[in-house]
Amino acid sequence: MIILVLGTPGSGKSDLAEDIMLSLKKKNMYYIATMEVLDEDGRERVIKHRKKRKGKGFTTLEITHDIAEYFRDKEYEEDSAVLLECVSNLVGNELERKMENPDIVPEKIINDILSVSRKVRDMVIVANSFTDSKEYDDKTRTYIRINNETNNKIQIITDKTHVISRSEETRNPN
């Protein structure tokens, strides 16, 4: 089963995704952390997330791009699940590598997600939703467009989607 937790930054997506993972009661729980730490703010966010997961039984994999590569030679694990945190970081990381052709990023990420999902029983995916604004520079607007396109494609392949805003949560089965 693939579950998407989609929402605005700071809405509690990570907490909900971790709760979902824990409710699945899997023996092997992989946490794919995709954030590339570039500054002090990023370091603080990583420390905060590590502290929140400590003792919950996750095996953390820090994979900033090409997430399918780690699982490529692994056999299917029935009693396992993956939490992918966060697609929006992954989009940014992949865009940095493929900026000459950003339109290939959504399909690449979808293919990686599908590849990983075939190796585990369940997958929980966290993603940010953003609104575009003409006030942003071209690079940021491209990131928002590609991020939103990737989210739309993920929604097509998921079994269930949870959409969260800062103040409320709505659960939408696909």
pLDDT surpasses 60 at 116: yes
Question: Which CATH number covers residue 55?
Answer: 3.40.50.300
CA angle 3, 129, 26 (to 5 degrees): 20
User: What's the number of domains the chain is made of?
Assistant: 1
The number of residues in the chain equals 174
- Domain holding 25, by residue range, is 2-173
| Predicted structure pTM score | 0.89
17: nearest Cα among 30, 4, 27: 4
Alpha-carbon dihedral 110, 16, 41, 65, rounded to 10 degrees: -20
What pLDDT score does 167 carry? 52
Tokens, residue 124: 């929980």
3-state secondary structure of 171: strand
- 149 — pLDDT class (breaks 50, 70, 90): very high
